[in-house]
Structure 1
């Protein structure tokens, strides 16, 4: 699955919801949690019936971030009833947290609802691989602001880089999507910084990132998409490898570049990002 950009939208803010489908994001996350104040949470949940199909009308995935605690079950069931393709689970500090969400869904869960798990504290960080290994978890990320708060740290890149990478590698170890940048997504006005951070995350192998402002969506879409030159080179490598295999050759030189299995697999991964089977 391709998830380069995931745009958070408060489910209580109709003026943001109404235009979310126009922003070009691969997924829209209708938020019932932190961006919705307590007195508006019930109304935000009720609004999902209209909001979920609305944000998905141009092909974006429609996800819902639920509250943990007493509201979680009602949030999750309302999201699924509205047609959401996945649930974003905050404070996913253990496999038990994922199972608790699925248990709350009960008969509403037909086995197709994806879970996007957010690690937000030190306990979750140390359990990240087990969370990622859960068969229903599609993607894992680190919630920078909450993680920093829970550990008494500042949400600056030098502090966040290590825990972000730990969660990233936990996701990759289990073959799951890794979402995020090596910084907080809260500072969306730092244009040059965001571009650099998105490109950095792509170099490390992150698959995409969430964002809280629509102007960041095109930045993420570009950074987490291979360039035309990269796609063309990947096609050359795959084609040359097929020719070499036909003659019984494994590793070979292509335009002076040594091509072996890891290089071939990277080329295939590039093509997969643009929907081409190699």
Structure 2
């Protein structure tokens, strides 16, 4: 269960030192947009120090690599540093992931294969998203909202981003991988009430978690994507009632004035599993 992922610039020691203490389920060490060109090599070299240091706090560590000629070297450095996964920007086809996986095989002798999170950030990637979702090592899909809006020559408003983000979300669900994101940009985090509403909306749609660029957002993501005690209590009640009704030969029944049948029971069971995973993590 990954509810919250915190982006941290890969060239900012004062942020990296505290990244693992912010309460996020995962930290994304960013080598791409947050790092100027002149500092990218130094930031990559710093992975050997920062990835293990952040992991000691108990969370996962991902690295957002560059999509340019730096891609392979960034990915190798992240793999050797022990990162759990790569955020791969501007993925436009599964071929990119195939080449990346093959490039990393010789550097994974003493570890399990590193996972991929493709970022869909342009039109080609958007219309290839179903095949990308089924590509090698994909554990989740995410959308780079600002980049996608720029590719459309549009503003990154919730209205503009809603449909393409849902396309990416549906592709993730079809492929059985995590769907990470909100139905809006993550760049605007000042209005916390609007952000809370966006998190609850995303959860209602079935998103699994989201990333953020400021630590003040982490608790909002953790709380919003986690099942509430009231929801867990209702789910337990539904599952228990279903067991009783099944014994009596009934597959559908009324519970506290609400109609219950197989899809509702399945949702209740899924919610219970999600709450148990959250406690375990």
TM-score normalised to the size of structure 1?
A: 0.96
* Partner of residue 35, structure 1: 34
* Partner of residue 177, structure 1: 178
Aligned equivalents of 1:163, 1:76: Cα separation in 2: 27
RMSD (Å), alpha carbons: 1.4
CA separation of 1:234 and 1:95: change in aligned 2, threshold 3 A: same
CA separation of 1:81 and 1:103: change in aligned 2, threshold 3 A: same
* Partner of residue 99, structure 1: 98
* Partner of residue 82, structure 2: 83
The answer on whether the counterparts of 2:98 and 2:136 sit within 8 Å (CA) in structure 1 is: no
* Partner of residue 71, structure 1: 70
Instruction: Map residues 231-250 of structure 1 onto 2, 5 A cutoff.
Output: 231-250=232-251
* Partner of residue 51, structure 1: 50
Which stretches of structure 1, 4 residues or more, deviate above 3 A after TM superposition?
109-112
Aligned equivalents of 1:247, 1:111: Cα separation in 2: 48
1:111 Cα shift? 5.0
Aligned equivalents of 1:222, 1:236: Cα separation in 2: 22
TM-score normalised to the size of structure 2?
A: 0.95
1:20 Cα shift? 0.6
* Partner of residue 122, structure 2: 121
1:144 Cα shift? 0.4
1:239 Cα shift? 1.5
1:276 Cα shift? 5.9
Aligned equivalents of 2:136, 2:262: Cα separation in 1: 28
Segments of structure 2 that go 5 or more residues without pairing to the other structure are none
* Partner of residue 204, structure 1: 205
* Partner of residue 186, structure 1: 187
The answer on whether the counterparts of 1:89 and 1:117 sit within 8 Å (CA) in structure 2 is: yes
The answer on whether the counterparts of 1:72 and 1:104 sit within 8 Å (CA) in structure 2 is: no
CA deviation map 1:199-221 (0-9, x unaligned): 11111111110100000001111
Aligned equivalents of 1:104, 1:73: Cα separation in 2: 7
**SS, match of residue 98 in structure 2:** helix
Segments of structure 1 that go 5 or more residues without pairing to the other structure are none
The count of residues paired between Structure 1 and Structure 2 equals 276
The answer on whether the counterparts of 2:101 and 2:136 sit within 8 Å (CA) in structure 1 is: no
The answer on whether the counterparts of 2:97 and 2:136 sit within 8 Å (CA) in structure 1 is: no
1:9 Cα shift? 0.4
* Partner of residue 155, structure 2: 154
